[in-house]
Chain A
Amino acid sequence: MRVQFFASCLVELLRPDVATAAQRALRAAGHEPEALVGATCCGQPAYNAGYRAEAQRVARRTLRALGDDDRPCVVASGSCATMMSHHWPELFEGTPEEIAARRAAGRTEELTAFMTTAGSDTAPDGGAGHDDQTGGPETSRAGGPAAVIVHDSCHALRELGAGATVRRALADAGHPTRSAEGSERCCGFGGSFSVKLPAVSVAMADEKLDSFVATGCEQVTSCDLSCLLHLQGRARRRGLGLRFDHVATLLGRET
């Protein structure tokens, strides 16, 4: 299927390789992604801090870049996909862009949600843990890749119901998945929360990291880069040997 692809500002700023991998994964699944030209950010940082006008100004840039198009817009970030599909219609309510925002919202999808449902009408059935395979953390029976801990980001889990699609996409690609204890609990990133209440944010990360270590697996993944950078930053400070990769990186790995 022909799709528009939006990497998110964070990916573009800090991990451009995630965008490359995501597009590679899309192509490998038979899709034709076209990266959005002229987009910057969905406006979420200002929106969540309470600054609507500023959020609108930035989101408008990306909304224009989306243009008058019918293709699905695939986003390599759960929280940005939530912002666009769930909050844009309300953000642009009463503005000349209202209709455009509604249309954009309707065709925006998170990467794994798109990859596991593309071409069909089945909506993701949500929830964490449903698709986890049981067994030890070592390697899968066939001697394939080691098990991956899926970190459920809050937006993806609660608003998109993408907890299951990340797992299903990984399983389709041959990665056994695990959920850590307390998987539905927030990791403490929360945008500006992570720097307004840094000590609380870090304490939340610590609990999360401890639960990861307890699984015996080393590879952590998520559809949200923001959570991963927060967790990785903390894991490095603590000297933990966990690896953090965006789900696109795992799905789009060159074989």
Chain B
Amino acid sequence: MSVPTATPVSFSGRAERALGDERMRAAIARGTGLMLERRHEAISALANADELRDAASDIRAEALRRLPELLEQWSDNLTAHGGQVHWAGDADEATAIIAEIVNRRGGKVIAKGKSMISEEIHLNAVLEQAGAEVTETDLGEFIQQLAGEPPSHIVAPAMHKDRFEVADLLSADRGAPVSPEIEAEAAYARRRLRQAFLDAGVGITGVNFAVASTGSICLVENEGNGRMCSSLPPTHIALMGLERIVADFGDLDVMLNLLARSATGQALTVYTNIITGPRRTGEIDGPEELHVVVLDGGRSAALGTEFSPALHCIRCGACLNVCPVYRQVGGHAYESVYSGPIGAVLTPLLKPEDPAARELSEASSLCGACTEICPVRIPLHDLLLQLRQRDARGDASRLRRVGFWLWSQAWSRRWIFRAMVLAARAGLPVLRRIRRLPNVGWLGAWHRGRELP
């Protein structure tokens, strides 16, 4: 076992550390490669993929334009069906609401499905501190819980681990060996988690979409654990970001058609749960209480700004899979719940006061692969560029600003440019002969891994 060292504070530091982890990088290259291949097949199978993506993009933009109205409609409808809606401005409010429900319902044992919002608000830590026992029931999340790590990918939380690492974690949990075969691992997890569902007083899940016209929430998944969490325990708490709304089932149809194809290459996920309220009299299953917690968490501040397309995201993970930077460093280097291109855009928007989040806009070569693949056509690399433009005006970049100002003064004058051309031609042969350039400045950074041009 390696001794944990302090996590570097900068993205570049964390990225360099990640580059040393060959095993993780191999797992990520394999995992993302497979997902991309499947996505390609599933999208190619559509006769009208381009039109569908245009439609999806319009649907998302229109939903955000009508956000207050649609949220109200959705909330009214859900309430009419016996559901309870809670509005949380930030993470603290959200966790307080959830802790209160858990407390009141006496649900010290909690079965949890996959929810990125719960990661965003660090829910497990809060609940555990309050004495609850939380079991992650999505296989990937369960593995991550055993490893004591956050997820590294928004769709496949444990993508960075190979099956041998997974077997080690499961064996430790079991106290007896679990063979490193995917089937054996899944079989053990299934047995282990079944008890968690039966014991749980509260089930917590995420929400993929909320449908305004009916007051429903839609939850897609492949393992059936989401269905268990939302129907078996007497209380179901679902968490969603406030941007997750669609107007009606027609719109939902378009989104679902693209989501699974873009994420895992499936035409549809194995389970598509549509939940409209708790159990009604006469029904044989379903929870007694359904609570939906709607989190703002900085989202509304981005609404109506040039960054509002980032809220169109449906969390398919395709931009992570195709990102050449993510491919090299994996998800943990971003040190954010959301990694890859969408993470680099979203994190600074959700955490505007965090200087470390700002640095993420540099975690891109602006190659545009993310923009090209995004099913809802978010111009991700343009947004990264706009974040850079916004930050270029800030204090933190003063030195760079002076540098670029000087550069622009020089290169807007032909004679200085010519002089620099001549100097470069004379100077480079000399510099090239130096075996070890000091590791300072841009020249040093270049020379660390590359010969000079």
* Residues of A bordering B, CB below 8 Å: 9, 12-15, 38-41, 45-55, 57-58, 60-61, 154-155, 158-159, 184-186, 188-205, 207, 229-230, 232-234, 236-237
* B391 close to chain A: CB less than 8 A: yes
* B436 close to chain A: CB less than 8 A: no
10 A-B pairs whose Cβ atoms sit less than 8 Å apart in the complex = A41-B417, A155-B368, A186-B365, A197-B363, A199-B16, A199-B19, A204-B324, A232-B453, A233-B453, A237-B450
In the assembled complex, the Cα of A129 lies from the Cα of B122 at a distance in Å of 46
Given the interface pairs A13-B421, A185-B324, A234-B449, the reply to whether A199 lies near B12 with Cβ below 8 Å is yes
A254 vs chain B, min Cβ distance (A): 22
* B222 close to chain A: CB less than 8 A: no
Contacts of B388 in A (CB 8 A): 48-50
Contact yes or no, B12 A197, CB < 8 A: yes
* B80 close to chain A: CB less than 8 A: no
- In the complex, identify which listed stretch (B170-178, B295-303, B408-416) lies at the interface while the others stay far away: B408-416
- In the complex, identify which listed stretch (B224-232, B309-317, B398-406) lies at the interface while the others stay far away: B398-406
* B184 close to chain A: CB less than 8 A: no
Given the interface pairs A154-B365, A185-B369, A198-B445, the reply to whether A233 lies near B391 with Cβ below 8 Å is no
Contacts of B424 in A (CB 8 A): 13-14
When each residue 373-399 of chain B gets 1 if its CB lies under 8 Å from chain A and 0 otherwise, what string results? 000000000000101111110000100
Contact yes or no, B449 A199, CB < 8 A: yes
Contact yes or no, A233 B451, CB < 8 A: yes
Contacts of B451 in A (CB 8 A): 232-234, 236-237
Partner of B401, one of A51, A195, A232, A237: A51
In the assembled complex, the Cα of A190 lies from the Cα of B16 at a distance in Å of 18
Contact yes or no, B411 A234, CB < 8 A: no
Contact yes or no, A54 B365, CB < 8 A: no
> How many chain-B residues does the 8 Å CB contact rule pick out?
54
In the assembled complex, the Cα of A51 lies from the Cα of B116 at a distance in Å of 34
Contacts of B385 in A (CB 8 A): 47-48, 50
B414 vs chain A, min Cβ distance (A): 5
What residue in chain B is nearest A198 (Cβ atoms)? B445
* B87 close to chain A: CB less than 8 A: no
In the assembled complex, the Cα of A244 lies from the Cα of B372 at a distance in Å of 28
Contacts of B16 in A (CB 8 A): 199-200
In the assembled complex, the Cα of A179 lies from the Cα of B433 at a distance in Å of 34
Contacts of A45 in B (CB 8 A): 407
* B249 close to chain A: CB less than 8 A: no
Contact yes or no, A229 B453, CB < 8 A: yes
Given the interface pairs A190-B365, A193-B364, A196-B362, the reply to whether A46 lies near B450 with Cβ below 8 Å is no
In the assembled complex, the Cα of A58 lies from the Cα of B405 at a distance in Å of 10
Contact yes or no, B407 A190, CB < 8 A: no
Contact yes or no, B412 A61, CB < 8 A: yes
Given the interface pairs A54-B405, A199-B12, A233-B453, the reply to whether A188 lies near B389 with Cβ below 8 Å is no
Contacts of A60 in B (CB 8 A): 412
Contact yes or no, A190 B367, CB < 8 A: yes
Contact yes or no, A204 B328, CB < 8 A: yes
Contacts of B389 in A (CB 8 A): 50-52
Contacts of A39 in B (CB 8 A): 414
Contact yes or no, B446 A40, CB < 8 A: no
Contact yes or no, B328 A198, CB < 8 A: no
B403-446, CB < 8 A from A: 404-405, 407-409, 411-414, 417, 420-421, 424-425, 428, 442, 445-446
Partner of A12, one of B325, B387, B392, B421: B421
Sorted nearest first, the 7 A-B pairs with minimum C-beta distance are: A190-B365, A50-B388, A233-B450, A202-B449, A186-B367, A54-B408, A50-B392
